[in-house]
Structure 1
Amino acid sequence: DNLPPILNALELDNNGTRLVLEVSQHLGENTVRTIAMDGTEGLVRGQAVADTGYPIRVPVGPECLGRIMNVIGEPVDERGPISSKKIASIHAAPPEFVDQSTEPEVLVTGIKVVDLLAPYARGGKIGLFGGAGVGKTVFIQELINNVAKAHGGYSVFAGVGERTREGNDLYHEMIATGVIKLEGASKAALVYGQMNEPPGARARVALTGLTVAEYFRDEEGQDVLLFIDNIFRFTQAGSEVSALLGRIPSAVGYQPTLATDMGIMQERITTTKKGSITSVQAIYVPADDLTDPAPATTFAHLDATTVLSRAISELGIYPAVDPLDSKSRMLDPRIVGAEHYDIATGVQRILQSYKSLQDIIAILGMDELSEEDKLTVERARKIQRFMSQPFSVATIFTGFEGKLVPLKDTIRSFKEILGGKHDAIPESAFYMVGDIDDVVRKAADIAREMAASNN
């Protein structure tokens, strides 16, 4: 009589384990086609299935902090049930246009290179590009740490179709760095649907993470950080599900609903008058082809991109953010102000000049450059070193105390370097420091040490 509506959750007992199915298609009068959220081995024909009467619902609220849950909200960290008072459906309408905030606002991260050259929008979406081993995870952890310190906000990490080992490592690193406290108040909630899960779970786990983040935004008025690692796997899982449901594929074999699937999820990530969800999405680019439909569809939604470069990490500069490749629509004089904009473009100009002079330096050496070019190179190298920054979460590995730099100090520091105020200070003083005052102190220490060694 009554077929369960599309997106409703169905439940059944699969040899002692609870299996959740999500209705995806109606076939005639009395049959539905569903997506399974777990393995379907052991199911038999004629088995009883119950309609829950609502979509998949998961626990939300402060009880989720410090815990790991799966796509259907079950804890997977072996620390007992999540004793949450509230549950929410993973499918929700995006905030109404009248409820959204239209004022562009910068989210200050305390990371110099990001705040100066590619600032993040509060309630915006940031793409994080980077190969293996250039520091994506440490960068994400520092953002979680800084947002908790500077804004008192929470973070939600959605692991979508990535390696289980990485998820496990991240959890233990978060415990080691104090982002998650087993006894005290944690700053982050984790939601995992890793590579070993069926496509149904991988296609929905980003929505589960988003639902947890929406509670903190809408009910507690927080500025929440939502990390999705990796947004490409969300599209990939959607493509697998689409093929299993018998839909005719579109370009490159992706699902015909690619743009809508992505849009429905991304539209929920926004700033409302109560709070905001700022999302940082790691993006895998298949075969390094930026025109592939999956990354190309993602780009349409991004406000900023942070590119981590292997060439910069090889110089020992961390965070290895590429200052010329990273972009943001917030770097606009009407949003950040004329001074910030002028200094950012001045920094990019001098780094670009240095890049174009590198071939000449490699072949002929520094001596062949004009005096003006020599000065450009010296300042550019100082700026490059100054873009490194000690991270709080990396203190246990580097021994450097972490520094969180306020935006006004970042602008002042780069302004002084560009203006030539610190031309006399050696390059080494600019490496792994906070603001320009730290550089001056470090230079004085270096001078004292040299004087002492000469005596």
Structure 2
Amino acid sequence: KVAMVFGQMNEPPGNRLRVALTGLTMAEKFRDEGRDILFFVDNIYRYTLAGTEVSALLGRMPSAVGYQPTLAEEMGKLQERITSTKTGSITSIQAVYVPADDLTDPSPATTFQHLDSTVVLSRDIASLGIYPAVDPLDSSSRQLDPQVVGEEHYAVARGVQQTLQRYKELRDIIAILGMDELSPEDKQAVARARKIQRFLSQPFHVAEVFTGSPGKYVPLAETIRGFKMIVEGECDALP
């Protein structure tokens, strides 16, 4: 079964504010009937925006960046209702618009507090022709725990993040002084980070229209092994 609830941008803000709550109430009803629900929200920022407009109409004093003073409360009331019970479950996937690509903006920052995992798309990575343009440093998951994914997976993932973070720190130096001014260790870290960037662009079925390369499924074990080889230097001799 599929149920859809719409809130058009030309409708009053009060209507748009209730759209997410209405959809969630329907999801809760299906869950209580013993069903497993996949709850899509596109876009959760519109819920925040509608709340901001309603708050202004009520004459409330705005908080940071002009948002309503009740932002955290309103977001909590929505997000904390997305939960599973003994009879059914609700799993939510939400698109989150980030104003000016600022992840510290109160709206996305408040939303992220309630999410188990986030996949952040980056304009900078897309400009390099790497698809899907996922930023591995800004993205996160509570499942990245050695007790959940295993010691090897966890260690390799952290090693990849550390290498990419070091590369990010060195970018300004490289842009101003060039690669020649780096230490041998930093040159090695940069080379490995660039390999990791390209390795993250392996052909996805959903990215065929952007890359022109046919999608290919890669088993998780092979992906972990590939990253481990790069991080540990087994691929240093390769261009």
Q: TM-score, normalised by structure 2?
A: 0.79
Instruction: Tell me by how many angstroms 1:315 deviates.
Output: 1.0
Asked if 2 retains the 8 angstrom alpha-carbon contact of 1:354 and 1:377, the reply is yes
SS of corresponding position for 1:408: helix
Q: Does 1:240 align with 2:53?
A: yes
Instruction: Note the 1:271-420 alignment, pairs <5 A.
Output: 271-273=84-86, 274-285=88-99, 288=102, 290=104, 292=106, 294-420=107-233
Structure 2 unaligned spans of 5+: none
* Aligned mates of 1:355, 1:348 — CA distance in 2: 10
Counterpart Cα distance in 2 of 1:269 and 1:330: 18
1:370 CA displacement: 4.2
The count of residues paired between Structure 1 and Structure 2 equals 237
CA shift in 2, pair 1:396/1:373, >3 Å: closer
Measured at CA, do residues 352 and 248 of structure 1 come closer, stay the same or move farther in structure 2, by a change above 3 Å?
closer
How many Å apart are 1:203 and its aligned residue? 0.8
- Give the drift of 1:385: 0.5
State how far apart, in whole Å, the 2-side matches of 1:424 and 1:256 are.
Answer: 56
Q: Deviations over 1:300-337 (max 9, x none)?
A: 32333332222211111112222222233332323332
Counterpart in 1 of 2:8? 194
CA contact (8 A) 1:247 1:255 kept: no
C-alpha offsets along residues 31-77 of structure 1, whole Å, 9 cap, x if unaligned?
xxxxxxxxxxxxxxxxxxxxxxxxxxxxxxx1x3xxxxxxxxxxxxx
Describe the shift of the 1:289–1:325 C-alpha distance in structure 2 as closer, same or farther (beyond 3 A).
closer
Q: Deviations over 1:154-204 (max 9, x none)?
A: xxxxxxxxxxxxxxxxxxxxxxxxxxxxxxxxxxx6543131222122112
- In 2, distance between residues paired with 1:217 and 1:386? 40
**CA distance 1:301–1:310, change in 2 (3 Å):** same
Q: Is the 8 A contact 2:131 2:210 kept in 1?
A: no
Are the structure 2 counterparts of residues 276 and 414 from structure 1 closer, same or farther at C-alpha, using a change threshold of 3 Å? farther
The answer to which of 314-323 and 232-241 deviates more is 232-241
- Structure 2 Cα separation of the partners of residues 284 and 359 of structure 1: 25
The 1:290/1:401 distance shift into structure 2, 3 A limit, reads: same
Q: Secondary structure at the match of 2:186?
A: helix
8 A Cα contact 2:131 2:207, kept in partner: no
Q: How does 1:215-254 map to 2 (within 5 A)?
A: 217-219=31-33, 221-222=35-36, 224=38, 226-244=39-57, 246=58, 248-249=60-61, 251=63, 254=67
Equivalent residue letter for 2:110: T
Report 1 or 2 for greater relative contact order, CA contacts < 8 Å, sequence distance ≥ 6.
1
Cα RMSD for the two superposed structures: 3.1
Q: Deviations over 1:412-432 (max 9, x none)?
A: 221122223333443xxxxxx
Q: 1:195 to 1:284 in 2, by over 3 A?
A: farther
Once the two structures are superposed, the pairs formed by residues 107-256 of structure 1 within 5 Å of their partners are: 190-211=4-25, 213-214=27-28, 217-219=31-33, 221-222=35-36, 224=38, 226-244=39-57, 246=58, 248-249=60-61, 251=63, 254-255=67-68
Distance 1:398 1:295, change over 3 A: closer
Aligned-pair distance for 1:254?
Answer: 4.8
1:321 and 1:409 mapped to 2: Cα distance? 20
| Residue in 2 that maps onto 1:50 | none
Return 207-216 or 265-274, whichever deviates more. 207-216
Contact 2:43 2:94 (8 Å CA) reproduced: no
The DSSP-based 3-state class of the residue aligned with 2:119 is strand
TM-score, normalised on structure 1? 0.45
Bigger radius of gyration among the two: 1
Aligned counterparts of 1:356 and 1:241: Cα–Cα separation in 2: 42
Question: What is the alpha-carbon distance in structure 1 between the residues aligned to residue 180 and residue 103 of structure 2?
Answer: 40
SS at match of 2:94: strand
Matched, 1:421 2:237: no
Q: CA deviation at 1:383?
A: 0.5
Q: Tell me how far 1:249 sits from its aligned partner.
A: 4.2
Structure 2 match to 1:13: none
Asked if structure 1 preserves the Cα contact closer than 8 Å seen for 2:103 and 2:109, the reply is no
* Secondary structure of residue in 2 paired with 1:317: coil
Letter in 2 for 1:412: R
Give the deviation of 1:393 after TM superposition: 3.0
Instruction: Identify the structure with the greater strand proportion.
Output: 1
Distance in structure 2 (CA, Å) of the matches to 1:358 and 1:324: 15
Structure 1 regions of 5+ residues with no counterpart? 1-61, 65-188, 427-455
Identity of aligned residues (%): 62
Tell whether the 8 Å contact from 2:44 to 2:97 is kept in structure 1 after alignment: yes
Secondary structure of residue in 1 paired with 2:156: helix
- CA positional deviation for 1:243: 4.7
